[in-house]
Structure 1
Amino acid sequence: MNVEKIIKTDKQIPITSRTIIHLSLVETKINEMMTAALKPHGVSLQQFNVLRILRGQKGKPANLSTLNERMVTKMSNTTRLVDKLILKGYVERMVCPSNRRKVEINITSNGESALSLMDLAMKETEEKLLENFSTDDLRSLNDLLDKF
């Protein structure tokens, strides 16, 4: 990805600015491709993330606070994300029997099945995004990104 070509400039961009612009362009490319992979499944990246978090609970319910803490992209509209997933039949919301003020959220079997199909689409997209990287490249890149 050539930053100067993408932003259509002939000027030399200082390395610090070029790095930030480059990271932003890469993030945009990743988001575009992942969003496109999920589009046939009718879910957003954030909804996909919620489903994965709930699957990771292994049958144990989660509350909105847990979902917010574990989201890759922090957002304040988790309630709305859950509401949309309920309408699709992918999750269910229940009042906690021991604390009626607490709402618990579980993934449904329909949600588990749909998520399995989404996983395949996302795996293909990840492979396409990273096809030019060796395993060593990916380790090095992760080591560099860990410095953030």
Structure 2
Amino acid sequence: MKIEEVLVTNKFESEYHKASLNIMYTSNFIQSLLKERTDQEKITLQQYNVLRILRGQKLKPATVNMLKERLLDRMSDVSRIIDRLVQKGLVSRCTSHKDRRAVDIFITQEGMAILERLDKKMSILTVLDENLTEDECKQLNFLLDKLRG
């Protein structure tokens, strides 16, 4: 669907303005699709992202600072996210053996089970491959990388 149809207007200040709105709308569209899927497991997108990072650690401990650096949503309050995941039994934390001031964070078996259930559901490949060719995806990746500098 064209952005003009979604916003019910064809009056844009410029193609730059139209592209900006299109990027924001598409981002929200994808976020909404993914949120519906994480809601089924009673976790947020940020919690899902933390769980994926922890799974990628392959049993190595993570720290709050490491998670902050790797999160897609840099504005997230990682400490609160960890607290909620601990309450749900999806992660555990303990004092670091290397530095008693630091806290090591690990994913639990229950956290791994949620990720396994969500792995296929969270893939937006179906949205992309139903609407874009591989060459168009390459072009889109190039343009988005270029946009961010």
Structure 1: give runs of 5+ residues left out of the alignment. Answer: none
TM-score (ref. length: structure 1): 0.92
Structure 2: give runs of 5+ residues left out of the alignment. Answer: none
Hey, what does 1:36 align to over in structure 2? Answer: 36
Q: What pairs up with 1:1-148 in 2 under 5 angstroms? A: 1-123=1-123, 126-130=124-128, 131-148=130-147
Q: CA RMSD in A?
A: 1.3
TM-score (ref. length: structure 2): 0.92
- Aligned residue pair count: 146
Identity over aligned pairs, percent:
36
CA distance in 2 between partners of 1:114 and 1:3 (Å): 35
Q: Which secondary structure state, in structure 2, belongs to the residue aligned with residue 92 of structure 1? A: strand
- The runs of 4+ residues in structure 1 deviating greater than 4 Å are none
Report the AA paired with residue 129 of structure 1. Answer: V
Report the AA paired with residue 135 of structure 1. Answer: E
Asked whether the equivalents of residues 46 and 76 of structure 2 are also in contact (C-alpha less than 8 Å), the reply is no
CA distance in 2 between partners of 1:65 and 1:87 (Å): 20
Shift of 1:55: 0.7
